[in-house]
Structure 1
Amino acid sequence: MPVILQTAALLILSNVFMTFAWYAHLKNLADRPWWIAALASWGIALFEYLIQVPANRIGHGTYDIGQLKILQETITLGVFVPFAVFYMGQPLKLDYLWAGLCLLGAVYFIFRS
């Protein structure tokens, strides 16, 4: 499998974990003290790190850290929007599209050489 696909697949999976770690407690643990939410988030984030670190190590042999960061940020938005809309029940905003187009521009510029 090409390095870019390995890296992207692992980054997508890690972003799913991290998005839940950062935001799911706002829905699932809203009635609990903040420190319980923090512990739950840290537990989820551990799995994110176990996937994200290999993703960046695989990708770093082919891509520089700027490219990896832009790839990760683009994937983050791609994971966050469905999470916000379908899991958190937030309205779909046109601003997500504009932000996505800006990130696609960032991808173009960071990978064009």
Structure 2
Amino acid sequence: MPVLYSVALLICSNVFMTFAWYAHLKNHAASPWWMAALASWGIALFEYLLQVPANRIGYGVLNLSQLKIIQEVISLSVFIPFAVLYMDQPFKWDYVWAALCILGAVYFMFRG
């Protein structure tokens, strides 16, 4: 059960972080960079309020490397829909190939 709680919190934290890092680029000319930075920091606070407990819950059940690779899988899984649906970027097969490479990394982190 701790792994499920950890993954759920990491998914939520990644949604916040993806918006903090990239959403300001959608209308980047609308405000100066420092306003975007302040807004991003505000959003990132919520990310950390979810990410820190997620890592604490997951650590011990998962080792550090496994926790990190789960984070990377979630990060890409959140980023692709964000890029396509929110940022209006075209879908690319490169997303699929990148996901397959990360799945290979998952294999190596979780094998025996």
List structure 1 runs of 4+ shifted beyond 4 angstroms: none
Pairs aligned (count): 112
Flag structure 2 segments of 5+ consecutive residues without an equivalent: none
Q: CA deviation at 1:18?
A: 0.1
Give the C-alpha shift of residue 99 in structure 1: 0.3
In structure 1, stretches of 5+ residues that fail to align are none
- Which residue number corresponds to residue 93 of structure 1? 92
What residue in structure 1 maps to residue 109 of structure 2? 110
Q: How far has the Cα of 1:85 moved from its partner?
A: 0.1
TM-score scaled by structure 1? 0.96
- Measure the CA separation in 1 of the matches of 2:3 and 2:80: 22
For the residue of structure 2 that corresponds to 1:78, the secondary structure is helix
SS at match of 2:34: helix
Cα offset for 1:112? 1.3
CA distance in 1, matches of 2:75, 2:29: 23
Q: Deviations over 1:62-85 (max 9, x none)?
A: 111111111000100000000000
The CA RMSD over aligned residues, in Å, is 0.9
Give the Å deviation of 1:29: 4.5
